[in-house]
């Protein structure tokens, strides 16, 4: 868990380090900021593969820390648990961070890629609850 905490702290410090600089894609610092976050997210993904099933994903998901939320998303992405689809959709709808939204989409893709037919129908129903067709 100490490794997670150090990665989370490093992740959260990136926003503090750059402040308002690098928030716009037209700013050259944007690419550097995103690259640093990507490197840390990849390290998190490799690390979550080694933790036991008792890992507290929910505690990490409800944290105010984007670093902790990213760790939880990486764990869900690794386990590919379709039961977490509601949480992933909720996070997608309510995330103020473009970086986190991108990671959420990766997680959603992993879940959908590994579902059987019954689970895909469940996923479809869940997504329709969040994103109803425009003609309704």
Residue 8 lies in a domain: yes
Residue 94 lies in a domain: yes
* Cα→Cα distances 7→21, 71, 99, Å: 22, 9, 16
pLDDT band at 21 (very low <50, low <70, confident <90, very high): low
Residue 41 lies in a domain: yes
Give the contacts of 75 (CB within 8 A, at least 6 positions apart). 48, 51, 55, 57, 60
The total number of structural domains in the chain stands at 1
pLDDT > 90: percent of the chain: 17
Give the pLDDT confidence of 43-93 residue by residue, as tens digits: 999 999 998 888 888 788 888 888 999 998 999 888 887 778 778 877 887
User: By residue range, what is the domain housing residue 90?
Assistant: 2-130
pTM, rounded to two decimals: 0.78
């Amino acid at each position: 868990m100490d490794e997670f905490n150090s990665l989370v702290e490093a992740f959260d410090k990136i926003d503090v380090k750059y402040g308002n600089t690098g928030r716009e894609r037209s700013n050259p610092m944007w690419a550097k900021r995103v690259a640093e976050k990507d490197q840390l997210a990849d390290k998190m993904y490799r690390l979550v593969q080694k933790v036991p099933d008792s890992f507290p994903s929910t505690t990490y998901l409800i944290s105010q820390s984007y670093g902790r939320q990213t760790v939880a998303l990486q764990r869900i992405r690794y386990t590919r648990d379709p039961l977490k689809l509601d949480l992933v959709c909720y996070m997608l709808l309510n995330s103020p961070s473009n970086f986190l939204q991108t990671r959420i989409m990766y997680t959603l893709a992993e879940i959908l890629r590994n579902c059987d037919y019954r689970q895909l129908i469940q996923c479809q129903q869940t997504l329709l609850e969040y994103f109803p067709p425009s003609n309704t």
